Structure 1
Amino acid sequence: MRPVTKRILFLSFFYPPDLSAGSFRSAALVKALRSQGGDRVHLDVVTTRPNRYNTFKREADSSEQHDGLHIRRIVLPKNKGGLLGQAWSFLYFAIVAFRFARARKYDAVFATSSRLMTAVLGAFIAACKGVQLYLDIRDIFVETLAGVFNATVWRPVVWLFSMLERWVIRRATIVNLVSPGFLPYFQSRYPDGRFSLFPNGVDADFIEPLGCTDKGRVKGEPLRVLYAGNIGDGQGLHLILPALAEQLRGRVRFQVIGDGRHFSSLRDALSLRQLDNVELLAPVPRQQIKLFYEQADVLFLHLNDLQAFKRVLPSKLFEYAASGKPIWAGVSGFSTDFISKEVANAAVFPSCDVACAIEAFEAVHLASVDRRQFVERYGRERIMGEMAREIMAMAGST
């Protein structure tokens, strides 16, 4: 007898070839679900055409069909950016996604979300269809919103999102939290919730360690410090990097690869100080980023000094750690404890603290180290395999 095919709706605002931690995570999970489910599972992935960065555009088909997999990429309307532009883009995505799902039958809904609204969309569709919901929460959006927009005028907005969060979490069958640091927040508010802890992990493209490149550097030449990733509120680069570059002028040359909400703030702050030791580069494909890692002497990481980010475990940390390169990290809270226990040769300083950052930099050991045990423990393929089994078990129980 042919096994019954379980149909799963998979919602992810970002998906390859777009650049984001959520995009790469989603692709790895889809691969794991297809591998485990075989002909017992059909996935409808609803996402967007690449849109995260204006400086990184890649073409992708609006519809892809494979055995047991349909990828529907929604083309978002052009907007001028900003909060209103982002809100309109998501609303458009939500409307088209709902229309896509409305006429189709599903046994379960999966949604991965950082800004909560993809989770809200998943919960709404799951409720309309009367099926189980699996949520993958990559950020505590309510706490982030309250920290970034802390003026009185924003309190009604924070309250509204708090109500949405409550409804979404209570509606979900299983909620995965990408950082164990999120657990106290959610357990204290939703003691009856079922929570899993599957982190981002190390992507298969980055499991091989990189060599140290000090042999290629002329003696006395500035050290090459690389940051690669988003430039937004969460990273707070504009609050720390200009001062570091100024104090380390002549000793360090920073390379920043990325884009985001505070790119212009960072650029303007560097210009104001007339700094010539920071190079700003547009996002590059993943295949190219490894070349920049290889050429770097130190990999730089930073989180803004807000309460919400004290619970975060940055996805970039796994990629950095797998490289074997020295890491210079400005973090607080859970990330500090995680790095101290799990990541060798990482110099840590409190977020946004320039004096401590300089002190930590002096302690950086300029040599690659063996972190193979870390890679084995946090390999994304294994983590997504375990997560896929949990999703399949949930879908199979309907």
Structure 2
Amino acid sequence: MKRIVYLTFYFEPDLCAGSFRNSPLAKVLAEKVKEDCVVEVYTTMPNRYDTYHAEASAFEERGNLIIHRIPLPAHESGMMDQIKSFYTYFKEVIRLNKGQKADLIFASSSRLFTAFLGYVLSIKYKKPLYLDIRDIFVDTISDVIKSPIIKLFMLPVLKLIEYQTFSNAVHINLISGGFKTYFQQFKGVEFSEFTNGIDDEFLQVKPNPVSLRKEHNAVKTIVYAGNIGEGQGLHKIIPQAAVMLGEGYQFIIIGDGGAKGKLLSELQKRHVTNVEIRKPIQRNLLIEEYQKADYLFLHLNDLDAFKKVLPSKIFELATFDSPMIAGVSGYAKEFIEKEITCSFVFSPCDVEAMVRGVKEFNEGKEIDRKEFFSKYNRDHINHAMAESIIQYL
């Protein structure tokens, strides 16, 4: 029997983009190879948020889909914590694969080291490596790290790891079309662009009359759900916008992350009273919050690396009948303006543009995104991507 080693740092029941992408894809892949092959997933116990805990088994066998969940040390999303977590994951995956055989290595990676782990295993087994790239880690880390001394020592090492990893893949899927120019340097590799998509949970949501342009409500709600990290830069936009919009608007922030402290500090400094921060919640409860919102909010920090990305959150928010307010640039801006009706895009961290856009938005406009739903159905994308993967078996 053939064996696919499937690497993803996040998997269900964790709450994050990596989990939402890889959990259904692994299932579709296992269905397609059927009894001829086993798909063996190596992931971690739920750990995305310190404030969200979900029960999960360390080992699961679902027919020909096998899941290994590796426990990680407690962490709070800081850089050193993340390094320790990845080292634990890396070391344990190598240990679990000792004495095993494999026919194909698949790695879905936002941070470079899951992809590098895939490269190490592909060299060990002398088998093809298929990469699913969700972020350009070297690009991002170059923007995020400000210390020139750390950059001087870290970046050359990371670039060497990146070159070795990407050059030795047989196929690289780019989750964003904005990545294409960066990856032109890697020759002899096949590329595809299977983006994120809309999950069944959201496609099945029926329009909620309560959410249809609530012009009669005195207070308009702006909902953000997801990571509160440096990458989102919420501390640079929400406290300032909340003050300018005033008490007629209420921000509801659902999530957690490494920059939550900065957000709380900025809110406290400005004595903001119209922002509520809640812990991460499961998707069925999140859907209810989205349905009640007047506006759905998305924001990325003002960094060059983020001009290439296509956030998975876009696909989630687009399924609801509330306008999308997005502080993004580059490829994400182009994508939203082209594909998603009834949306407003402003430059990241531009508080005045955001406030102006919210106040001037035509709330009475009907939202029809049926064409978008059909084009970006996650299940359709997963089936096409699974076919792309199994050709290398």
TM-score, normalising length: structure 1: 0.95
What is the aligned partner in structure 2 of residue 271 from structure 1? 268
Distance in 2 (alpha carbons) for counterparts of 1:91 and 1:211: 45
* Structure 1 position 308 matched with structure 2 position 312: no
Aligned match of 1:117: 113
**In structure 2, the residue corresponding to 1:31 is in which secondary structure?**
helix
Task: State the Cα distance separating 1:218 from its structure 2 match.
Answer: 8.1
Q: Which residue of 1 aligns with 2:82?
A: 86
Residue 371 of structure 1 and its aligned partner are, at CA, apart by 0.6
Q: Which structure 2 residues correspond to residues 3-42 of structure 1 after superposition, within 5 A? A: 5-42=1-38
CA distance 1:78–1:30, change in 2 (3 Å) = same
| 1:163-216 Cα shifts (integer Å, max 9, x gaps) | 1111110011101111011111111x2243321101111111111353352579
Report the 3-state secondary structure (helix = DSSP H, G, I; strand = E; otherwise coil) of the residue aligned with 1:341: helix
Identity of aligned residues (%): 39
- Per-residue Cα deviation, 1:371-396 (whole angstroms, up to 9, x for no partner): 1110100000000100000111111x
Please report the RMSD computed on the Cα atoms of aligned residues, expressed in angstroms. 1.5
What SS is found at the alignment partner of 1:249?
helix
Residue matched to 1:170: 167
My pick for the range that moved more, 118-127 or 33-42, is 33-42
Report if aligned partners of 1:255, 1:280 keep a CA contact under 8 Å in 2: yes
Matches within 5 A, 1:195-206: 195-206=191-202
Residues 71 and 204 of structure 1: CA distance in aligned 2, closer, same or farther (over 3 Å):
same
1:298 aligns with 2:298: no
Alignment of 1:243-392 (within 5 A): 243-367=240-364, 369-392=367-390
Cα deviation, residue 267, structure 1: 1.0
Return the match for 1:180 from 172, 177, 196: 177
1:243, distance to aligned residue in structure 2 (A) = 0.5
Q: Distance in 1 between matches of 2:26 and 2:242?
A: 41
Q: 1:334 to 1:294 in 2, by over 3 A?
A: same
- Distance in 1 separating the partners of 2:351 and 2:77: 31
Deviation at residue 140 of structure 1 after TM alignment = 0.7
Structure 1: segments with no counterpart, 5+ residues = none
Distance in 1 between residues matched to 2:63 and 2:8, nearest whole Å: 20
Q: Distance in 2 between matches of 1:80 and 1:113?
A: 20
Counterparts of 1:323 and 1:171, CA distance in 2: 41
The alpha carbon displacement at 1:48 in A equals 0.6
Gap change, CA 1:220 and 1:20, over 3 Å in 2: closer
* 2:89 partner amino acid: F
Deviation at 1:221, TM superposition (A): 1.2
With over 3 angstroms needed to count, the CA separation of the structure-2 counterparts of 1:317 and 1:218, relative to structure 1, is closer
- Larger mean CA deviation between 307-316 and 69-78 belongs to 69-78
* Residue type of the alignment partner of 1:340: E
- Give 1:229 deviation, angstroms: 0.7
CA change 1:48–1:214 in 2 (3 A) is closer
2 CA distance for matches of 1:308 and 1:81?
Answer: 20
Unaligned runs of 5+ in 2: none
| Contact 1:329/1:347, CA 8 A, preserved across alignment | yes
**Aligned to 1:64, what secondary structure does the other structure show?**
strand
**What SS does structure 2 have at the residue aligned with 1:96?**
helix
Q: Distance in 2 between matches of 1:209 and 1:355?
A: 34
Q: In 1, distance between residues paired with 2:294 and 2:207?
A: 11
* Equivalenced residues, count: 390
Alpha carbons of structure 1 residues 165 and 223: separation in structure 2 relative to 1, 3 Å: same
